[in-house]
């Protein structure tokens, strides 16, 4: 069996793993319309910044191909399906930029983005592993938050791409995985990927994340990002900011692994980013109805970010370097 992609283009439509079904079962969605794609994105069947970028590009190709009178409506719905991650809109714009050359050019641009994802992530993983290996002696223990693995991309992963590269070099000792409330992306998705990789790992509740660092159990924190602003502020899954605070207190490097497309030069700082607020029922489950604030993301200030690695470079925001 070949590599299973998180999202792909087959027989003129999108095929994607339904991440809401993991780890219990691997279910593939066949998506034929922009409306169905938007639904899959909103309910997190398709998630993760790089995967959303590819989804945006393929969705743009669908919108251009389908009924012209619905094009503007479909593109608007796709752009706003999730407001915080910059890659979704970036993917739409990347593909649409070729529209003057015709509909086939839009699809071609989207497919090029799809095919190049793994190479970008390999480069991110290798650069991040190189940097950690230079800073730390011997095999390292890593802590991560949410899921920035192959499931968040087309293949390989960003933060887990760094983990994979360390693992291949026999420089990885252990991974501590935060559960990631309320939808448990760490517990459901990251542990599933690590088990498949044969990586020794331990799951901890989110509220124990800081204590893992305080007790000296992790040598580095490695996370992904949904948007990085021009000054180096990092927007990532809720719970990332307190982990960065704990890493700074413990003197542990805090590494962000993300593609160049996640850097948004149009926004100067994290305070300018619209933070998605999701349905409170995700938090409550079977609990009695009460008021909730279900923030999907938080902002880690640049001075807490030791380094950002992309496919092209390494930036050190804590030293005043700006990614854009």
Alpha carbons 48 and 149: distance in angstroms, whole number? 9
**Is 136 found in the same domain as 60?**
no
Q: Which of 70, 86, 116 is the last residue of a domain?
A: 116
Contact 145, 121 (CB under 8 A): no
**Is 250 found in the same domain as 161?**
yes
**Is 101 found in the same domain as 71?**
yes
**Is 298 found in the same domain as 166?**
yes
**Is 134 found in the same domain as 108?**
no
Return the pLDDT at 56: 98
Per-position b or e across 40-64, b if 16+ CB within 10 A of its CB: bbeebbbbbbbbbbbbbbbbbbbbb
Under 8 Å CB-to-CB from 54, ≥6 apart: which residues? 7, 91, 110, 113, 114, 117, 154
Return the pLDDT at 2: 46
Q: Are strands 201-204 and 172-178 parallel, antiparallel or unpaired?
A: parallel
Q: Are strands 307-309 and 314-315 parallel, antiparallel or unpaired?
A: antiparallel
Structural domains counted in the chain: 2
**Is 57 found in the same domain as 166?**
no
Examine residue 244 and state whether it is found in any structural domain, yes or no.
yes
**Is 128 found in the same domain as 111?**
no
Q: What percent of the chain has pLDDT over 90?
A: 97
Q: Is the pLDDT of residue 1 over 50?
A: no
Q: Calculate mean pLDDT across residues 103-119.
A: 96
Q: Which of 116, 147, 180 is the last residue of a domain?
A: 116
Examine residue 218 and state whether it is found in any structural domain, yes or no.
yes
- Evaluate the CA torsion angle 206, 264, 193, 168 in order and state its sign: negative
Q: Is the pLDDT of residue 234 over 60?
A: yes
Examine residue 324 and state whether it is found in any structural domain, yes or no.
no
**Is 257 found in the same domain as 134?**
yes
Return the pLDDT at 218: 98
**Is 303 found in the same domain as 252?**
yes
**Is 13 found in the same domain as 37?**
yes
Does 182 sit behind a cis peptide bond, omega within 30 degrees of 0 on the bond before it? Answer: yes
Q: Which of 83, 116, 149 is the last residue of a domain?
A: 116
* Residues taking part in catalysis: 226
**Is 161 found in the same domain as 294?**
yes
Alpha carbons 188 and 285: distance in angstroms, whole number? 17
Return the pLDDT at 69: 85
CATH number at residue 253: 3.40.50.10470
pLDDT digits (tens, 9 = 90+) for 183-231: 999 999 999 999 999 999 999 999 999 999 999 999 999 999 999 999 9
Contact 81, 42 (CB under 8 A): yes
Examine residue 1 and state whether it is found in any structural domain, yes or no.
no
Examine residue 205 and state whether it is found in any structural domain, yes or no.
yes
Alpha carbons 187 and 125: distance in angstroms, whole number? 22
Q: Is the pLDDT of residue 4 over 90?
A: no
Alpha carbons 254 and 91: distance in angstroms, whole number? 27
Examine residue 2 and state whether it is found in any structural domain, yes or no.
no
pLDDT digits (tens, 9 = 90+) for 14-71: 999 999 999 999 999 999 999 999 999 999 999 999 999 999 999 999 999 987 889 9
Q: Calculate mean pLDDT across residues 146-167.
A: 97
Domain that holds residue 110: 7-116
Return the pLDDT at 67: 79
State the pLDDT confidence band at 324, using cuts at 50, 70 and 90.
very high
pTM over cut 0.85: yes
Return the pLDDT at 47: 97
pLDDT digits (tens, 9 = 90+) for 290-314: 999 999 999 999 999 999 999 999 9
Give the CA angle between residues 137, 139, 140 to the nearest 5°: 85
Contact 157, 117 (CB under 8 A): no
For residue 78 the two structure tokens come to 């796709």
Closest by CA to 304, choosing from 263, 270, 265, is 270
Examine residue 156 and state whether it is found in any structural domain, yes or no.
yes
Q: What percent of the chain has pLDDT over 70?
A: 99
**Is 133 found in the same domain as 110?**
no
Examine residue 70 and state whether it is found in any structural domain, yes or no.
yes
How confident is the prediction for the chain on average, in pLDDT?
A: 96
Return the pLDDT at 68: 82
pLDDT digits (tens, 9 = 90+) for 253-296: 999 999 999 999 999 999 999 999 999 999 999 999 999 999 99
CATH number at residue 111: 1.20.120.420
SS (H, E, C) the chain: CCCCCCEEEECCEEEEECCCCCCCCCCEEEECCHHHHHHHHHCCCCCCHHHHHHHHHHHHHHHHHCCHHHHHHHHHHHHCCCCCCHHHHHHHHHHHCCHHHCHHHHHHHHHHHHHHHHHHHHHHHHHHHHHHHHHCCCCEEEEECCCCEHHHCCCCECHHHHHHHHHHCCCEEEEEEECCCCCCHHHHHHHHHHHHHCCCEEEECHHHHHHHHHCCCCCEEEECCCEEECCCCEEEECCHHHHHHHHHHHCCCEEEECCHHHEECCCCCHHHCCCCEECCHHHHCCCCCCCCCEECEEEECHHHCCEEECCCCEECHHHCCCCC
Closest by CA to 185, choosing from 174, 177, 196, is 177
Return the pLDDT at 3: 62
């Amino acid at each position: 069996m070949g590599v299973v992609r998180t999202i792909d283009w087959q027989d003129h439509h999108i095929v994607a793993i339904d991440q809401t079904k993991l780890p219990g079962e691997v279910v593939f969605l066949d998506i034929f319309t922009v409306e169905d794609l938007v639904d899959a994105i909103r309910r997190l069947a398709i998630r993760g910044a790089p995967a959303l970028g590819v989804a945006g590009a393929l969705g743009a190709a669908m919108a251009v191909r389908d009924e012209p009178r619905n094009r503007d409506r479909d593109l608007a719905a796709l752009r706003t399906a999730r407001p915080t991650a910059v890659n979704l809109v970036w993917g739409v714009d990347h593909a649409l930029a070729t529209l003057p050359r015709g509909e086939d050019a839009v699809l071609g641009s989207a497919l090029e983005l799809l095919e190049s994802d793994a190479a970008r992530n390999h480069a991110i993983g290798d650069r991040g592993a190189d940097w950690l290996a230079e800073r730390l002696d011997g095999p390292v223990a890593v802590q991560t938050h949410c899921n920035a693995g192959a499931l968040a991309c087309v293949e390989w992963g960003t933060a887990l791409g760094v983990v994979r590269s360390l693992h291949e070099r026999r420089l990885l000792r252990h991974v501590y995985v935060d559960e990631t409330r309320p939808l448990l992306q760490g517990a459901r998705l990251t542990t599933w990927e690590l088990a498949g990789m044969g990586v020794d790992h331990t799951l901890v509740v989110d509220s124990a994340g800081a204590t893992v660092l305080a007790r000296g159990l992790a040598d580095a924190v490695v996370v992904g990002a949904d948007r990085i602003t021009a000054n180096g502020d990092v927007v990532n899954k809720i719970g990332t900011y307190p982990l960065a605070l704990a890493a700074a207190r413990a003197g542990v490097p805090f590494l962000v692994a993300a593609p160049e497309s996640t850097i948004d030069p149009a926004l100067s700082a994290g305070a300018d980013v619209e933070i998605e607020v999701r349905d409170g029922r995700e938090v409550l489950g079977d609990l009695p109805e009460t008021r909730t604030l279900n923030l999907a993301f938080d902002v880690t200030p640049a001075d807490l970010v030791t380094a950002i690695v992309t496919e092209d470079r390494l930036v050190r925001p804590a030293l005043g370097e700006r990614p854009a």
